[in-house]
Structure 1
């Protein structure tokens, strides 16, 4: 399932969680990591457990997918985060500071120990895959991460700290070269692994024009969704990452034309010569729209 928007919500704030549930996001991420102070993590786990148990009684068709961002594997907190979810159905876990397929396999085994028997294997994993210099060298490994892996995203703030950069954006507001490299490698790693590439957050939630520009650049380059940090960003992200009726009609026309042509490698459509890459692109666009 493609997720256009994934909204981070502090796990220790029931009010913000409820607002997130009604935001229109395709997924909300109950954040037990950066949004929660160390002294509040245990209480936040209890809130998350209560929220997920409550959601189980609501109509699924009016709710976003529910993800939980756990603390990184090297913190010693991940097992406790997952223990709070034992026996509950959760759509997915977001793993920060992943370093490659081995991180995902380790987390997957931990999820298997707390997952309800009737939903065995259903919990998916999305990782933030660029938060250290070391992590960049693991981006080619995710193809072997296993069937739970659903998406790769990237982050600039922790990477900035790790490499000692003064900033991660230039005067024009765009990411500087080291971070654009991380972004590109994340895109390539996700596509190579056959999972969804999800663009990072745009931190200035009041800058609608800047968000639209960053969404447009992400779409241009191949990302199919974006992380959000505020409910106000969700409608714009959803709009930008929803294929237009014209795009869908064109894609369907390409798929239909190839179907009529049988086993042709090249076809003509509306005066344009199209080959197999055009067909694959059209099929992927239709898949994003659930067609």
Structure 2
């Protein structure tokens, strides 16, 4: 998976469109994508859309971004979770501590992936604790716009204000033996060139996949994360020679050293390029 598409929960037509998109995962949004006086409408819309389109909901990986614990909509969001049997995960916005994870985990009756969305300096410093807090947490996602606000900086297309934070999230995710984190939304919908530059930087820093807010951005993410034919051929050679080697320490291939991390990275790219 590399593309994670947000869609507001109060718009059934957009939900259906998202489920038909190139996105690997659709995140139905009950938080920032829905204004306060439409929160109830959004929950009802999701249920109605599910009843009308059961096949779509079962064919696409589906997450739900709920409202934070301190909001008046949180409890009703949790009740909704149990009414969506095809749900694969929930995203927790403004996640900062292991307590946020455990309080959710204790109230769920379904086995779901929990995805902490890190949007504050405190959340970044607690990345490792968040992943360690529950077996249902495999990785975290980054929210760069709210992070910029939290540290008193302006969000910029170049991303200078978030580069250190991104590196911290990657390192702490690895320290917790979690999966690579998911890169943040790029809120300028029509700027393809800047979007791709931002996506490439995230990939180079160590993220894997990106949150998007428009279906057309899915193709742009895939262009950055999908390996070329030459890269695929190289990854296949890496996997083949490493698996055939009796020495699992390191082997040489075309003058390059192939050890376990290189092998695992090659396998990941081969699996995601299928």
- Normalised by the length of structure 2, the TM-score is 0.90
1:230-284 superposed Cα distances (whole Å, 9 cap, x missing partner): 1111111123222333222212211211222212423221233333332232233
The reply to whether residue 67 of structure 1 matches residue 67 of structure 2 is: no
Which whole-Å CA distance do the structure 2 matches of 1:281 and 1:234 have between them? 22
**What's the offset of the Cα at 1:59?**
7.9
CA contact (8 A) 2:96 2:122 kept: yes
**Number of aligned residues:** 272
Where does residue 16 of structure 1 map in the other structure?
A: 14
**SS of the counterpart of 2:127?**
coil
Q: TM-score, normalised by structure 1?
A: 0.86
- Structure 1: unaligned runs, 5 residues or longer: 116-120
Match 1:168 to one of 149, 152, 155: 155
Preserved contact between residue 182 and residue 211 of structure 2 (Cα < 8 Å) = yes
Choose which of 89, 93, 96 in structure 2 pairs with 1:99.
96
Structure 1 residues 264 and 136, CA gap change in structure 2 (3 angstroms): closer
Instruction: Give the match for residue 43 of structure 1.
Output: 41
> 102, 108, 129: which one pairs with 2:105?
108
Match of 2:123 in 1: 135
Residue of structure 2 aligned with 1:222, choices 206, 214, 235: 206
- CA distance in structure 1 between the aligned counterparts of 2:6 and 2:108, rounded to whole angstroms: 21
Aligned to 2:251: 267
Does the 8 Å CA contact 2:185/2:212 hold for their aligned counterparts? yes
CA distance in 1, matches of 2:83, 2:15: 21
**What is the CA RMSD across the aligned residues, in angstroms?**
2.0
- 1:236 aligned partner: 220
Give the direction of change, closer, same or farther, for the CA distance of 1:42–1:274 in structure 2 (3 Å limit).
same
2:173 paired residue number: 190
Q: Does the C-alpha gap of structure 1 residues 109 and 55 become closer, same or farther in structure 2, counting only changes over 3 Å? A: farther
- C-alpha separation in 2, matches of 1:59 and 1:70: 18
Counterpart in 2 of 1:156? 144
| 1:135-173 Cα distance to aligned partner (Å, 9 max, x none) | 2221121342222113311112222332332x122xxx3
**SS of match in other structure, 2:140:** strand
| Alpha-carbon distance in 2 for matches of 1:44, 1:84 | 11
- Asked whether the equivalents of residues 4 and 242 of structure 1 are also in contact (C-alpha less than 8 Å), the reply is no
Structure 2 residue runs of 5 or longer lacking an equivalent are none
* C-alpha distance in 1 between matches for 2:53 and 2:39: 21
Residue 278 to residue 181, structure 1, CA distance change in 2 (3 Å) = same
Say whether the 8 Å CA contact 1:79–1:110 is kept in structure 2.
Answer: no
State the alpha-carbon separation in 2 of the partners of residues 58 and 154 from structure 1.
27
Q: 2:232 aligns with which of 231, 242, 248?
A: 248
